C-alpha cells in the first residue's frame, strides 16, 4: 500500500482549497510515478505534479533502570500532489 494517510494541517488545508494541492503520507520506498498512479486509481482524479520529501526520525532518549536508552523514531515520506483543473478529492467524506 503506497498511500498511508491524508495529512490535514493548518498549512495543508488552504492549499487544498486554493491551489488544489493535497498532502499524503506515503511509503518511504515509493517514487513519484508510483504515487501519482496510486492517487489516480484511489480517488479517480488526474494528477498534475508530485513533490516528495523525507522527514528523518527524531532522536529519542529515555532513562531506564539499566541506563540511558537512545533511539530514533521512523522516518516519514510526505508527498504533495497537485491535481489538474476541475479535479478534487473529498477527504472529509461529507455526503450531505
The pLDDT value recorded for residue 96 is: 46
Does any domain span residue 88?
no
**What are the start-end ranges of the H helices in the chain?**
12-14, 32-43
Does any domain span residue 85?
no
Distance CA 63, CA 67 (A): 6
CATH number of residue 17's parent domain: 3.30.70.330
Does any domain span residue 8?
yes
Distance CA 45, CA 37 (A): 10
The pLDDT value recorded for residue 45 is: 94
86 HSE (CA, 13 A, CB side): 1
Taking only the tens of pLDDT, the chain with its 96 residues reads 999 999 999 999 999 999 999 999 999 999 999 999 999 999 999 999 999 999 999 999 999 999 999 999 999 999 999 999 999 998 877 554
Does any domain span residue 52?
yes
Does any domain span residue 69?
no
Which domain, by its residues, includes 13? 1-58
Single pTM value for the model: 0.84
Instruction: Quote the number of domains for the chain.
Output: 1
The pLDDT value recorded for residue 94 is: 53
Distance CA 13, CA 23 (A): 9
Amino acid at each position: 500500500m503506497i498511500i498511508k494517510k491524508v495529512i490535514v494541517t493548518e498549512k495543508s488545508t488552504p492549499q487544498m482549497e486554493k491551489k488544489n494541492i493535497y498532502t499524503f503520507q506515503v511509503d518511504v520506498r515509493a517514487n513519484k510515478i508510483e504515487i501519482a498512479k496510486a492517487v489516480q486509481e484511489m480517488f479517480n482524479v488526474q494528477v498534475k505534479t508530485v513533490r516528495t520529501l523525507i522527514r528523518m526520525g527524531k532522536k529519542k532518549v529515555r532513562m531506564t533502570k539499566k541506563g540511558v536508552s537512545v533511539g530514533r523514531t521512523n522516518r516519514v515520506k510526505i508527498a504533495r500532489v497537485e491535481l489538474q483543473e476541475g479535479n478534487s478529492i473529498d477527504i472529509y467524506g461529507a455526503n450531505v
